[in-house]
Amino acid sequence: MRQPLPAHVGAGWPISFANLKFYKGFHNNRWMLNLDFTDILNSYRERWTAYGNGVENEKDGKMFSRQVVLTVTYNFNQKRSKYRGTGAGEDEKSRF
């Protein structure tokens, strides 16, 4: 009796790439500026081989992943935290 071939068996290779991000806050972080660089070395690639049912599929190519993104954020009605870091939990400690 002949054994059926596995539906999908394959091999892959590691993926590596480098990203870079800059952040700057202005006016007590009311304005925030983010600058993102994705795959700055253009090294992200997809490389794999798959075998199944007598067919071999192979892919080895660069991905279209390089990009630069600039994000400007403004925070409306920004409130300051009332937490001062002292005396927290004193009521609970005194109960014991």
Q: pLDDT tens across 37-60, in order?
A: 998 888 888 788 888 777 888 888
Mean pLDDT to the nearest integer, 11-38: 87
Mean pLDDT to the nearest integer, 26-31: 89
Please give the Cα distance from 26 to 33 (Å, whole number).
8
CA-to-CA separations, 22 to 5, 62, 63, 77, 87, in angstroms, rounded = 50, 26, 24, 25, 37
Provide the number of structural domains found in the chain: 1
pTM of the full predicted structure? 0.54
Rg, Å, the chain Cα set: 27
Please indicate, yes or no, if residue 18 is contained in any of the structural domains: yes
Please indicate, yes or no, if residue 81 is contained in any of the structural domains: no
- The pLDDT score that the predictor gives to residue 5 is 47
| pLDDT(11) > 70 | no
Q: In which domain, by residue range, is 43 found?
A: 9-75
Please give the Cα distance from 16 to 31 (Å, whole number).
33
Please indicate, yes or no, if residue 89 is contained in any of the structural domains: no
Mean pLDDT to the nearest integer, 74-89: 72
Mean pLDDT to the nearest integer, 14-18: 77
- Alpha-carbon dihedral of residues 88, 89, 94, 96, nearest 10 degrees? -160
| CB neighbour list of residue 26: distance below 8 Å, 6 or more residues apart | 32, 33
